[in-house]
Amino acid sequence: MFIYNFFIDNFTITELYGLGLFSLIWLVQIIFYIVIFAKPSRYANRSKRGKIWHSAAKPNVSVIVYCSENFADAERNITSFLNQNYPNFEVVIVNDGDDSDLKDTITLLKDKYPNLSYTYVPQEAHSLSRKKLALTVAIKAAKYDIVGFTDAFCRPVSNKWLSTMVRNFITDIDIVIGNSFEKGDKQAKWSYRFYRLFFKLKYFSYAIMHRPYMGEGTNMFIRKELFFKNRGFSNNLSIQYGEDDIFANEIMTKDNCRVELAEEAQIENTLYDIDGDLREMRLRRSFTDKILKTSAHFVFGIEQVCCILFYISFVALIVWGSISNLLLIAFASSMFLIRYLSQSIVINKASKTLKCEVNGFETMFYDFIRPIENIRFAILGKSSSYRNYTWRIRR
């Protein structure tokens, strides 16, 4: 009763409507951060405390390492996959380039690692996605039912990567998605680092909520039979990319997917032109995102709209309060501070879990440029969309 009388006595009806609208937008923002965006870090903590059940079985595994023009990385990183602390697995290197030195390196390594095998894509293969062809060749060459995907520019941070990822293959689980992060992330543009964090927060949060819609091919495991049941990549052969996100979107269900975010399960990516590579990655993802069947785009679109409305309504209340009622300023400022602290804490925890070099206290500034960046990349993506189709690949 006291609170009711306080608001009735100190605010006009118009001011109460304004406060009510601002409070509703504020509540939506708080829910997104505390309930949804906080899920990955909470899930990782639950797993660390043993609150998530894992399998003790050690099934045979095939790890496919895709290599295309990054031969130096392949030669440097192959042993990190081969030295995994796991009883029975193979590493299949699939070469999508023309480098005899890599083949010689593989030949030398096979003396020490008999579980290493090599295959390649013929150079004369054109007018199709060479990566999809390479992965199809490698999957057919793989001996075992569980298959992991990664790239030659990647390196597991632990020799327990394989066992940590595979422990999630309990009954009815057919696909496991893990995190990969960019080495030298601090050198990337500030906006790209935040983009990567929010991009991963969205699909990991949705997967933890049993609404998976994609994974990244640098750290993803599936049951091989699922690949053939889906007829491989046949549903999107006209698209150059999508060998991970679109394919995963086709085979994922609410019950057959698991997330692994343990420290030992992380994959490190080496990007030499980090800004250029992340820019290209964002353009590719913005194209394939339109094809994914998920409610995530609508749901997270609401978050972005509410974020814009939050700042607009906050400024409106501050201006309004300075003219007629200083209590409006106090009310709006306190709610702004609560949102800012909640957002900063959640993003700081998420950045540690997902290995993104961002400062949660700077998230507010990213809020301001996010709409501009989205519009900019929408324009860039539209002007370069022709590059995403296989019929544009020169013969």
Which of the residue ranges 29-38, 122-131, 373-382 would you say has the lowest mean pLDDT? 122-131
CATH pick for 54-294 out of 3.40.50.261, 3.40.50.300, 3.40.50.170, 3.90.550.10: 3.90.550.10
pLDDT digits (tens, 9 = 90+) for 202-255: 999 999 999 999 999 999 999 999 999 988 888 877 787 778 889 999 999 999
Flag whether pLDDT at 394 surpasses 50: no
Task: Judge whether 142 and 190 are in contact, CB under 8 Å.
Answer: no
Average of per-residue pLDDT across 132-146: 92
SS3 (DSSP) at 180:
strand
* pLDDT bucket at 58, cuts 50 / 70 / 90: very high
pLDDT value of position 127 = 53
Amino acid in the structure at residue 234: S
Q: Quote the mean pLDDT of the chain.
A: 88
pLDDT value of position 214 = 94
pLDDT digits (tens, 9 = 90+) for 356-376: 988 888 898 999 988 888 888
Q: Please give the Cα distance from 393 to 131 (Å, whole number).
A: 13
277 or 268: which carries more pLDDT confidence?
A: 268
pLDDT value of position 337 = 96
pTM: 0.91
* pLDDT bucket at 60, cuts 50 / 70 / 90: very high
pLDDT value of position 81 = 95
pLDDT value of position 376 = 84
Q: Please give the Cα distance from 192 to 181 (Å, whole number).
A: 13
Q: Please give the Cα distance from 252 to 350 (Å, whole number).
A: 24
Alpha-carbon distance values, 344 to 38, 203, 361 (Å): 11, 20, 5
Q: Count CB atoms within 10 A of the CB of residue 153.
A: 24
Flag whether pLDDT at 100 surpasses 70: no
Domain ranges of the chain: 2-38+297-388, 54-294
Residue pointed to by tokens 């079985």: 57
297 or 280: which carries more pLDDT confidence?
A: 297
pLDDT digits (tens, 9 = 90+) for 317-353: 999 988 888 888 999 999 999 999 999 999 999 999 9
pLDDT value of position 270 = 85
Average of per-residue pLDDT across 142-150: 96
